[in-house]
Structure 1
Amino acid sequence: MTVMAIVLAAGQGKRMKSKLYKVLHPIGGKPMVEHVVNTLEQINAARTLVIVGFGAEAVKGHLGDRVEYALQEQQLGTGHAVLQAKEAFGDEDGITIVICGDTPLIREQTLLDMMNLHEATGAAATILTAHMEQPAGYGRIIREAEGQVSGIVEHKDCTPEEALVKEINTGTYCFHNKKLFEALSQVTNNNTQQEYYLTDVIGILVRQGAVVQAHCMEDSSESIGVNDRVALAEAEVLLKKRINRQHMLNGVTFIDPDNTYIECDVQIGADTVLLPGTLLRGSTRIGEGCTIGPHTEIIDSVIKDEVTIKQSVLQEAVVDSCTSIGPFAYLRPGARLGKNVKIGDFVEIKNASLDEGAKVSHLSYIGDAVVGKHVNIGCGAITVNYDGFNKSLTEIGDHAFIGSNVNLIAPVKIGEGAYVVAGSTITDAVEAGDMAIARERQVNKPGYADKIKARMKLRKSGKAE
C-alpha cells in the first residue's frame, strides 16, 4: 500500500523566543524537522509533504527537494494545516502519516508498528499514543471495552474518571487517506480557540462507525514535542543517551557517557575510548582503537585507527593511523596528517599536509604548507604564509630539520635533508643537504649591563644628569 506523509511545520514557535524558526532548532546536530523527514524516508514514504508557514523559505532552503511543500498562510489549527495537503494528496489511494515537525525522537520502528496495526485491523485512523504517569496537559485516549478507540478528550474537558486515564495522544496519526480528507471537510471551528482541530476527525470517524485504533509506543520518551527551550534541552539529553548507547553496543568505550556528546551522523570504530568532555560533530569518522579526549572537539573530520587526541580541536581535518595530537592543538580546515605524526601542545595546523613521521612538538604554526616525511619542526617555528594580500606555500622536504624559533617566509622551499638553524628567518630556498643560518652575529659588550643598571638607579633617585 502506498504510504504518504504530512509533516506539520507551520507554527512560529513563539515559546522558543528565537529568531530561528522552531522546527529548525537542532538536536544531535540536525534540525528537528530533518530528524522527522529522515524517519519518514526510512519507512519508505512515497511522498512527504511539509506544511510550512512562518519561516517557509528557511525550511525549504534546508530540506530542498527531498519533500513537497504546502503553505498554511494563516495558522487556524492542526485540521486546517492538514487540509492544505488536500490538493496534493486528496485523491490518492493509500495511507497517510500525519506527524509534527517538532517531534524528532520518534523512531522508524514505532511508525512501522502503528502502520502494521492500522492495516491489520482495517482501521480508518490509528492514533500513536503513549503511557504517561503524569498525563496532565495531554489529550486522553478513551477506549471501549474491547479496546477500540471511542474518542480523544482534551485535558481541560476531562471528567474526573477520564482524567485518571494515562494513555495520551502524541499528535501522530495514520489515516486511510481519502477518509481523512472526507472527514476534514466536516470539521468546524466552533470552539473557544476558533480553530480547526485534527482530533475532531477521530470523533467524526467514530460516529460514522469506522474503526479507529490506537497504538501505544513502548518508549514514551519518543513522544516528546519541543515547544520551548526546556523541552529542547530534554530532547537533546534523550537523543544523546540513545546515540551513546548504540555506540557502546557497537564496541566503543565511554568513560563518562553523561559528559560525552556525539552527533547523529558520527561513525566510531570498535575499541575506541572516549574520555569525558569529548564532542564529536557533523560527519566525523573515527577509526578503531583510538583514544579521544578528554575535552576534545572534532568536527567533520576523518580519524583513522590507533590515533590519540588530547584536549584539542579539529575541524575538517584528516588524520592517518598511529598519530598523536595534543594537548591543546588546533587543526583547522585542510589539515592532513600522515601516519605516526606527532602534533604537540599549542600547535596550530591550517591547510597543510604533514607526511609520515613528521613532528611539530610545541608552540608552532604551520599554515599553507607541504611537509615531508620525518621532518622535525622545533619549538616556536612558524610558516609565514600571509603577506596581507595573498597566502603562499611553504615546502619542506623529507628528513629536513627546522630549528626552534625559525620563520619560513613563504613562498619558500626547504630541500630534502636540509638544516635550518634556530632563530633564523628564511626568505630564500634552501637546497637539499644545505644548512641555512639567517640571523645577526652575536655581539657581547663587556660590563655594559652594569652601566645600564647604574644609570637606571640614578634616574629613579632623581640624580640623573
Structure 2
Amino acid sequence: MPTALIILAAGQGTRMRSDRPKVLHEVAGAPLIAHAMAAGAAVEPARTVIVAGHGAEAVQAAALDLDPDVTVAVQPEQLGTAHAVAQARAALDGFEGDAIVLYGDTPFIRPETLAAMAEARARHAVVVLGFEPAEPGRYGRLVMAGDELDRIVEYKDASAAERAIALCNSGVIAADASLLFELIAEVGNDNAAGEYYLTDIVALARARGLSAGVVTCDEAETLGVNSRADLAAAEAAFQARARAEAMENGVTLVAPETVFFAYDTVVGRDAVIEPNVIFGPGVTVESGARIRAFSHLEGAHVSRGAVVGPYARLRPGAELAEDVRIGNFVEVKNALVAEGAKINHLSYVGDATVGEHANIGAGTVTCNYDGVFKHRTEIGARAFIGSDTMLVAPVRVGAGAMTGSGSVITGDVPDGALAVGRARQENKPGLATKLFERLRAEKARRKGE
C-alpha cells in the first residue's frame, strides 16, 4: 500500500531565540527537517507534504532543495497539531493509502520504527508511536485498554492517575489517509490549551469501533528540539550514534569523542580516522584510507590508500585517487588529484587537475581567481612543481615537466621542460651592513626624542 508523509514544520520555536525557523537549525551539517525527511524516506513515500508556518518561504526553499518533489502546505495560524495536519488535505486529495505524521523538529526516528508502524497498520486503523522516558514530565500519556490504545491524554488535561502512566506519546501517528482527515474534521478545541489536538483522533476512532494500537521505541528516537540546549543534545546524540556505527562497521576512530560526522558521511571499513577530524556534508572516505589529525573535509572523495593531513582541508569538489598524499596545511578545492600524486606541505590547489605521481612542492599556489572568473590549472603526470611556485591559471604544466622554486608560471610548460619564472639574483657587497647601521641609528634617534 502506498504511503504519504506529512511532516509538521510550522512552529516558530520561540525558545530557540532565533529569527530562523526552528526546523532549519542544523544537526550534523543538515537542517532538522532534512533528518525528518531522511527518516521518512525509509517507507518509500509516494508523496511528501511539508506543513510550514513561521518562515514558510525559507522552509519551502530548504525542503525543495532537499527533494524537488515535495509539496509544501502553509498553516497560517498555529492552532494545534490537528489543524496543522488538516492543511495537508488538499495536497493529498484523491490519495489512496496510509499517511504517517512526522515532526520536523524530531530528527531521530529510526527506519525500523517506521517499518514497524507500517506493519502494525495491518492490525489497527490508527497506530501511535509511544515510548517510556526516564522522566515522563509533561508528555501526553497513552491510556491502554488491554492490548489496544484507548485514548491519548495531554498532560494539561490528565488526571493524577493518568499522569502516573509511564507510556508516553511521541506524536507520530499512522492511519489511512482518508480516515485521518475524516477524524481530524471531528476534532474540537475544548481543552486546557484551546487547541485542536491530533491526539484526539484516537478516541474518535475508538468511538467508531475502530482499533488503535501502539508501537514503542527507545526514548532517544523521540528527542525533540525546542531550544539551543536541545539542539546541542541532538548533535551529541547524533555524533554518539554515528561514531558507534562507524566502529561497528570496521572503521578505526583513534579518539572517537573528537571526531564529528555529517549526516551523510560515508567511511569504508579499515579506514583510520585520527583525533579532531571534522566531516562536513558530502564526504566519502574509501576503505583503507587514513585521515590524520585536525583535518577538515567537506564535499570530498578520498580513495583507497590515500592519506590526508594532519591539518589538511578538503573543500567541495576535491577528488583524491588511490594512494594520494595530502599533507599538513594543504587545501584542495574542486580538484582531481590522480593516483600516487603528492601535495605534502603548505599548498593551495584549487580548480586543478594533478596527474599521476606528480609532486607538488611546499608553498605552491594555483592562482585560480582573477576577481571575476575561476580558471583551471593542469599539471601533468610525474610533473615536479618546485617549492613556492605560483601557477597563474589558466595554465598547463606538461607531463614530466618541472618548475624552478620561487617561480611565477604564467604560460604553458611543455612536456619534459623546465620552467623558471623569477627575477635574476643580484648581490650588493656591503649594502646590508650599511643599511642596518642606518636603521639602528634612526631607531636610537627616535628613542632619544
TM-score (norm 2): 0.89
Q: Deviations over 1:235-275 (max 9, x none)?
A: 22222222233332322111122211222322222211011
**1:434 alignment counterpart:** none
Q: Is the 8 A contact 2:71 2:91 kept in 1?
A: no
- Of residues 179-188 and 125-134 in structure 1, the stretch that sits farther from structure 2 once superposed is 179-188
**2:379 alignment counterpart:** 371
**2:228 alignment counterpart:** 229
**1:127 alignment counterpart:** 128
Q: Is the 8 A contact 1:90 1:181 kept in 2?
A: no
Distance 2:434 2:296 in 1: 53
Q: Is the 8 A contact 2:3 2:99 kept in 1?
A: yes
Distance 1:61 1:455 in 2: 65
Quick one: structure 1 residues 451 and 4, their matched pair in 2 at CA, closer, same or farther if it must change by over 3 Å? closer
Letter in 1 for 2:291: I
State how 1:64-463 maps to structure 2 within 5 Å: 64=64, 65-89=68-92, 92-119=95-122, 121=123, 123-144=124-145, 146-217=146-217, 219-310=218-309, 311-315=311-315, 316-332=317-333, 334-367=334-367, 368-383=376-391, 385=392, 392-408=393-409, 410=410, 412-421=411-420, 424-425=421-422, 438-440=423-425, 442-445=426-429, 447-452=430-435
Q: Deviations over 1:290-331 (max 9, x none)?
A: 110211111111211101111110112111111111111111
Distance 2:168 2:440 in 1: 85
The structure having more radius of gyration, on CA atoms, is 1
Quick one: structure 1 residues 375 and 209, their matched pair in 2 at CA, closer, same or farther if it must change by over 3 Å? same
Unaligned stretches of 5+ residues in structure 2: 368-375
Distance 1:448 1:62 in 2: 64
Q: Is the 8 A contact 1:352 1:370 kept in 2?
A: yes
**1:389 alignment counterpart:** none
SS at the partner of 1:206? helix
Distance 1:30 1:7 in 2: 16
Q: Deviations over 1:152-175 (max 9, x none)?
A: 222233333333322110000112
SS at the partner of 1:205? helix
Quick one: structure 1 residues 400 and 147, their matched pair in 2 at CA, closer, same or farther if it must change by over 3 Å? same
- Of residues 321-330 and 371-380 in structure 1, the stretch that sits farther from structure 2 once superposed is 371-380
Q: Deviations over 1:56-106 (max 9, x none)?
A: 222222332322232211111111111223334466543221111211111
**1:433 alignment counterpart:** none
Q: Is the 8 A contact 1:90 1:177 kept in 2?
A: no
Letter in 1 for 2:75: Q
Distance 1:177 1:30 in 2: 29
Quick one: structure 1 residues 314 and 458, their matched pair in 2 at CA, closer, same or farther if it must change by over 3 Å? closer
Letter in 2 for 1:376: F
Distance 1:73 1:338 in 2: 54
Distance 2:125 2:431 in 1: 100
Offset at residue 373 of structure 1 (A): 2.2
SS at the partner of 2:214? strand
Letter in 1 for 2:379: V
**1:38 alignment counterpart:** 38
Aligned residues: percent identity? Answer: 30
Q: How many residues matched?
A: 432
Q: Is the 8 A contact 1:183 1:201 kept in 2?
A: yes
Distance 1:382 1:277 in 2: 31
Distance 2:102 2:302 in 1: 37
- Of residues 367-376 and 124-133 in structure 1, the stretch that sits farther from structure 2 once superposed is 367-376
Distance 2:350 2:90 in 1: 52
Distance 2:35 2:296 in 1: 23
Distance 1:258 1:14 in 2: 31
Quick one: structure 1 residues 4 and 420, their matched pair in 2 at CA, closer, same or farther if it must change by over 3 Å? closer
Distance 1:88 1:458 in 2: 83
Distance 2:60 2:443 in 1: 72
Distance 2:383 2:318 in 1: 20
Letter in 2 for 1:439: R
Quick one: structure 1 residues 417 and 191, their matched pair in 2 at CA, closer, same or farther if it must change by over 3 Å? same
Offset at residue 449 of structure 1 (A): 4.9
Q: Deviations over 1:137-195 (max 9, x none)?
A: 11111112x22222222223333333332211000011233332232222222233322
Distance 1:292 1:243 in 2: 17
Distance 2:51 2:313 in 1: 39
RMSD of aligned alpha carbons = 2.2
TM-score (norm 1): 0.86
Distance 1:335 1:242 in 2: 32
Unaligned stretches of 5+ residues in structure 1: 386-391, 426-437
**1:432 alignment counterpart:** none
